[in-house]
A and B are shown apart, each in its own frame.
Chain A
Amino acid sequence: QQKVQQSPESLTVSEGAMASLNCTFSDGTSNNFRWYRQHSAKGLEVLVSIFSDGEKEEGRFTAHLNRANLHVSLHIREPQPSDSAVYLCAVNSNNRIFFGDGTQLVVKP
């Protein structure tokens, strides 16, 4: 079964500084990867989807995928206090979607 692990567990950055989040997965045959954001026990919003190795940018959010290293990351450019939330990595494997435990991001003004 796919195992998805995120690091760090929590991250505090200053407004405007780059925030980088990591996600590793166990099954390299997974076919797509997404990053979601969850504000205070509310519904999740999708930030960026990536299907092939390399980089995918959606506004201030950039995902990097390296299947060989079983790693996908999310970089948030110029984070703002409103970006404070839990960020979840989701890996689609055999039409099931597995989530990591999340990274709690706090952006200080």
Chain B
Amino acid sequence: AQTIHQWPVAEIKAVGSPLSLGCTIKGKSSPNLYWYWQATGGTLQQLFYSITVGQVESVVQLNLSASRPKDDQFILSTEKLLLSHSGFYLCAWSPPGNTLYFGEGSRLIVV
């Protein structure tokens, strides 16, 4: 069975500080991987997706970047956080057919 794990579960960070959120998928080779962001009370928005190692497509520009260093790993990061980055970040994977399977999410509070 496939499992998806996100870390950290929650973080409080200062404006201007760096951020790195991680996501790993076990039990599935070459999955499509996605990062979604949900502002408090807001709509879930797709940020990035990746269909293979080393390849990432940006969907929405939020001064964030993503990388896929390994087949089972997807990293979301920025060097300088903004207040507007606060929210809930969800990693997801999908097989062909596009059903998304989500991780438990990472809650970020920027102060």
Contacts and interface: CB of A to CB of B under 8 A. Distances in A.
Contacts of B102: 36, 43-45
Nearest to A98: B46
Nearest to B32: A95
Nearest to A92: B98
A42 B91 CA distance: 11
Interface string B31-42: 000000000001
Please tell me the size bucket of the interface on A.
20 to 34
B42 to A, nearest CB: 8
A13 to B, nearest CB: 22
Interface in A41-75: 41-46, 49
Contacts of B100: 34, 36, 44, 46, 90, 97
Contacts of B103: 43
A7 interface: no
B107 A41 contact: yes
A88 interface: yes
A97 B46 contact: yes
A44 B98 contact: no
A32 interface: yes
Contacts of B4: 43
Nearest to B101: A46
Given A41-B88, A41-B105, A46 B99 contact: yes
* A32, A34, A42, A45 interface centre (most CB from chain B within 10 Å): A42
6 contacts: A34-B99, A42-B104, A46-B99, A88-B44, A96-B59, A97-B100
A-B complex: 7 closest residue pairs judged by Cβ atoms: A43-B102, A99-B44, A44-B102, A43-B104, A101-B43, A43-B103, A92-B98
Interface of A: 32, 34, 36, 41-46, 49, 88, 90, 92, 95-97, 99-102
Given A36-B102, A49-B99, 10 more contacts: A41-B88, A41-B105, A44-B90, A45-B102, A46-B99, A46-B101, A96-B46, A97-B100, A100-B43, A101-B43
